[in-house]
Amino acid sequence: MMVESASETIRSAPAGQNGGVGSLSGQADGGSGSGTAGTAPAAGRDGSSRDTASGADSNGEMSSTELLQFQQQQALQVARQFLLQQASSLNSPGNNDSKQSASAVQVPVSVAMMPQQILTPQQMQQILSPPQLQALLQQQQALMLQQLQEYYKKQQEQLHLQILTQQQAGKQQPKEALGNKQLAFQQQLLQMQQLQQQHLLNLQRQGLVNLQPSQASGPLQALPQAAVCPTDLPQLWKGEGAPGQPAEDSVRQEGLDLASTAATATSFASPPKVSPPLSHHPLPNGQPTVLTSRRDSSSHEETPSSHPLYGHGECKWPGCETLCEDLGQFIKHLNTEHALDDRSTAQCRVQMQVVQQLEIQLAKESERLQAMMAHLHMRPSEPKPFSQPVTVSADPFPDGLVHPPTSAAAPVTPLRPPGLGSASLHSGGPARRRSSDKFCSPISSELAQNHEFYKNADVRPPFTYASLIRQAILETPDRQLTLNEIYNWFTRMFAYFRRNTATWKNAVRHNLSLHKCFVRVENVKGAVWTVDEREYQKRRPPKMTGSPTLVKNMISGLSYGALNASYQAALAESSFPLLSSPGMLNPGSASSLLPLSQDDMGAPGEPLPSNGSSSPPRLSPPQYSHQVQVKEEPAEAEEDRRPGPPLGAPNPSTVGPPEDRDLEEDLPGEDMS
DNA sequence: TCTGGGATAAACAGTG
DNA sequence: ACACTGTTTATCCCAG
């Protein structure tokens, strides 16, 4: 069974090229880690700080302490206003209210949803009952809330500290001329960046450290990949003038013009009023940190006299890591190396955007989750923690490093993608009876909807090899792929195949050879595989008419209760709109997926809609013949396949659907073979 | 129970 | 000799 695994693994390594995939690896756990870092109820603090800030505005003379507080508050306020401004400016174009609810946010929702879906098989196996599902949802929610709260807290605390330090140093700095307000804001920006980076680093670090077998998949998939990938941050922070850094470039160009920054922000939501914390994980330190001077509460393990940017004897400024013997030295370093300049500001902006993204996503997802839970009559509370503190963790797949969970032993689990309503994955055994696309939603749409999911979750896709291969081929411009390219597609599109390399390649080859729908064409460069759509459609007469069976599969196959069935159905309909916005996709995936929609639309071969509610596009094979009329010939005759009339116009009927066109293209190839 | 489809495993051959 | 590709056969499982 696993004989090949060794060599396969090695060979598939190159496939890693696809790998941009896991840019977010290792963050998931970070979420948990940071979450447990003991943060204070940010939400509450948040509100208070804002209020007090406004009140402080009227102050004329104040003590140094008051001044500090005032500045801090102001900074926060300014920052918030800025954020709001961004939100409105971003949304206004589309006349969306600054209210900025989920719909308006340009956030890769699908990605955002990940945390809710990415679970290790083992974990998912525990979620076979409604109560467990509920628990999972709650946990996920709690996690997100925690993250958000932590961000707030950190921002506030660090802002405070930063102000203090800057204040001290500011006396000797020329930039003092900037004025308190601006300085405060600058500091705020700096802090935000620092915080964000620290957080991300922390997440990543933990993600690597906490890679426990049962927590391979990651929640932080929720991070805005489309916007600023955590992995990109270091570059952004460091490589100031690095070309090819749009965000940064814009940042630099904009200089300190805050208003213009809005343009760079990919999205933003109103000051995330941290969703009314259904906090299952009540944050430990509930102190009103904001106004109190230094008090290291958050994840900073430093002593009271420490600085959030200073830890373990080194500067924690993004990409700095300069060693500083003591706090004093550090502060000096901070003021000299990370002074208020364009660079720092730019970094800050980047950081800010990241924070915004996260906040938006968090708020959005929280909102969604609540709505979902409400719909499902689930109570948003009830922590009901799982055995594992954090069921979701980063998905380290990309690098193919630690992928403990789904082992060959338990390669397949009930874990299902959000949008997938199909499939009959039986918990037992390696996905036997993988729903062929004929029984569930169209693979293309399904794939499109859950692209990110499959890409990051080590879940076996509920499609047959044949359908997957076909999809891979059809996604390419010329509808043809070499075997290796098919391999790459598999690994690129599915985390599962990045990990479980033992048999699938063999299976792919087997399928290519076995199914007549796959035609090997001798190409200049070698042999490529194409899809004979007609044959593919013939493969199996659509016995089932969709919904009934599908539903049955969904429920029985998964042992899910009605609740889960409906839940999944709901997910299938609502989640992962990512494909609707190609821009949110990773370059690679985006391009590869583009054809999908097309495929969905015109693909005659596409199976019945998963929901089955809609009228079956294809009632019977015959109906398809119109497209492929060319081949009435027995499925067997290989030669017959060669379009007799075909050559010139292989598929006379190829008028409509894109695929028909493709078919035409393929046919010539057949001749070649 | 039979049958068909799909997955898996493995043997084998051809090629570079 | 080896790796890759492609074909084929056998077996098992599942669903209809």
What pLDDT digit, counting tens, does each position of A260-312 carry? 333 333 333 333 333 333 333 333 333 333 333 333 333 333 344 567 777 77
> Any idea how long chain A is?
673
The arithmetic mean of pLDDT across residues A112-124, rounded, is: 37
Q: Cα–Cα distances in Å, from A144 out to A360, A365, A460?
A: 11, 8, 26
State phi, psi for A310 to the nearest 5 degrees: -125, 120
More confident residue, A64 or A534: A534
pLDDT over 70 (residue A341): yes
Measured CA to CA, the distance from residue A588 to residue A584 in angstroms comes to 11
pLDDT over 60 (residue A474): yes
What is residue A253's predicted lDDT score, i.e. its pLDDT?
A: 36
For residue A469, name the pLDDT band (cuts at 50, 70, 90).
Answer: confident
Distance A521 CA to C6 C1' (A): 12
What is residue A250's predicted lDDT score, i.e. its pLDDT?
A: 35
The arithmetic mean of pLDDT across residues A593-602, rounded, is: 33
Q: What is the pLDDT of residues A190-230, one digit of tens each?
A: 454 554 444 444 444 333 333 333 333 333 333 333 333 33
Q: Which residues of A485-508 are buried (b: 16+ CB within 10 A; e: fewer)?
A: bbbbbbbbbbbbbbbbbbbbbebb
Q: Read off the amino acid at residue A346.
A: A
Strand C closer than 7 Å to the CB of A514? yes
Q: Are A542 and A616 in contact (CB under 8 A)?
A: yes
In 3D space, the residue among A526, A475, A485, A462 whose CA is nearest the CA of residue A12 turns out to be: A485
Top-ranked range on mean pLDDT: pick from A97-111, A234-248, A341-355: A341-355
What is residue A140's predicted lDDT score, i.e. its pLDDT?
A: 52
Distance A1 CA to C10 C1' (A): 15
What is residue A357's predicted lDDT score, i.e. its pLDDT?
A: 67
Strand C closer than 7 Å to the CB of A181? no
Distance A96 CA to C11 C1' (A): 59
The arithmetic mean of pLDDT across residues A133-160, rounded, is: 53
Distance A380 CA to C2 C1' (A): 59
What is residue A149's predicted lDDT score, i.e. its pLDDT?
A: 57
More confident residue, A576 or A441: A441
Chain A residues 474-503 within 7 Å (CB) of strand C = 482-484, 487
Distance A11 CA to C2 C1' (A): 14
Which 3 state secondary structure label does DSSP give A147?
Answer: helix
Measured CA to CA, the distance from residue A194 to residue A248 in angstroms comes to 16
- Say whether pTM exceeds 0.75: no
The arithmetic mean of pLDDT across residues A506-535, rounded, is: 80
User: For strand B, which nucleotides have at least one atom less than 7 Å from a protein CB?
Assistant: 4-11
Measured CA to CA, the distance from residue A370 to residue A374 in angstroms comes to 6
Distance A374 CA to C8 C1' (A): 55
- What would the DSSP string read from start to end of A505-567? HHHHHHHHHH-TTEEEEE-SSSEEEEE-HHHHHHSS---S-SHHHHHHIIIIIHT--HHHHHH
What is residue A305's predicted lDDT score, i.e. its pLDDT?
A: 59
Q: What is the pLDDT of residues A374-433, one digit of tens each?
A: 665 555 443 333 333 333 333 333 333 233 333 333 333 334 444 433 333 333 333 333
What is residue A146's predicted lDDT score, i.e. its pLDDT?
A: 61
Strand B closer than 7 Å to the CB of A539? yes
Distance A543 CA to C11 C1' (A): 25
Strand C closer than 7 Å to the CB of A552? yes
Strand C closer than 7 Å to the CB of A295? no
pLDDT over 70 (residue A109): no
H/E segment holding residue A160: helix A130-170
Cβ-proximal residues to A512 (8 Å cutoff; 6+ apart), any chain: A469, A483, A486, A518, A520, A529
Q: Which nucleotide is nearest to A482 (CA to C1')?
A: C5
| Greatest distance between any 2 Cα atoms in chain A | 93
What is residue A360's predicted lDDT score, i.e. its pLDDT?
A: 67
Q: Which residues of A20-41 are buried (b: 16+ CB within 10 A; e: fewer)?
A: bbbbbbbbbbbbbbbbbbebbb
In 3D space, the residue among A469, A569, A551 whose CA is nearest the CA of residue A513 turns out to be: A469
The arithmetic mean of pLDDT across residues A319-348, rounded, is: 74
* Angle A633-A634-A638 from CA coordinates, rounded to 5°: 85
Measured CA to CA, the distance from residue A419 to residue A450 in angstroms comes to 6
Q: Read off the amino acid at residue A327.
A: L
Q: What is the percentage of chain A residues whose pLDDT exceeds 70?
A: 18
What is residue A405's predicted lDDT score, i.e. its pLDDT?
A: 33
Top-ranked range on mean pLDDT: pick from A201-205, A317-321, A456-460, A644-648: A456-460
Strand C closer than 7 Å to the CB of A544? yes
Q: Cα–Cα distances in Å, from A351 out to A9, A83, A264, A307, A401?
A: 37, 13, 12, 19, 28
What is residue A25's predicted lDDT score, i.e. its pLDDT?
A: 29
Measured CA to CA, the distance from residue A181 to residue A656 in angstroms comes to 63
More confident residue, A449 or A433: A449
Q: What is the pLDDT of residues A22-65, one digit of tens each?
A: 222 223 233 333 332 233 333 333 333 333 333 333 333 334 44
What is residue A170's predicted lDDT score, i.e. its pLDDT?
A: 42
pLDDT over 70 (residue A616): no
Q: Which nucleotide is nearest to A514 (CA to C1')?
A: C7
Q: Cα–Cα distances in Å, from A429 out to A142, A412, A656?
A: 32, 7, 41
In 3D space, the residue among A31, A233, A196, A206 whose CA is nearest the CA of residue A115 turns out to be: A31
What is residue A502's predicted lDDT score, i.e. its pLDDT?
A: 60
Q: Which nucleotide is nearest to A428 (CA to C1')?
A: C13
Q: Which nucleotide is nearest to A543 (CA to C1')?
A: C16
Q: What is the pLDDT of residues A120-138, one digit of tens each?
A: 333 443 333 434 444 444 5
Strand B closer than 7 Å to the CB of A494? no
Measured CA to CA, the distance from residue A220 to residue A211 in angstroms comes to 14
Distance A526 CA to B15 C1' (A): 11
In 3D space, the residue among A460, A612, A442 whose CA is nearest the CA of residue A536 turns out to be: A442
What is residue A517's predicted lDDT score, i.e. its pLDDT?
A: 81
CA dihedral A375, A32, A306, A70 (to 10 degrees): -10
H/E segment holding residue A314: strand A314-315
Chain A residues 287-316 within 7 Å (CB) of strand B = none
Q: Which nucleotide is nearest to A552 (CA to C1')?
A: C15
Measured CA to CA, the distance from residue A462 to residue A446 in angstroms comes to 10
User: For strand C, which nucleotides have at least one atom less than 7 Å from a protein CB?
Assistant: 3-10, 13-16
Q: If you measure CA to C1', which residue is closest to nucleotide C13?
A: A432
Q: Read off the amino acid at residue A153.
A: K
Retrieve residue A403's tokens.
């992928």
Strand B closer than 7 Å to the CB of A139? no
Output the average pLDDT for chain A: 47
Measured CA to CA, the distance from residue A369 to residue A105 in angstroms comes to 16
In 3D space, the residue among A635, A664, A634, A662 whose CA is nearest the CA of residue A651 turns out to be: A664
Q: How many CB atoms lie within 10 A of CB A134?
A: 21
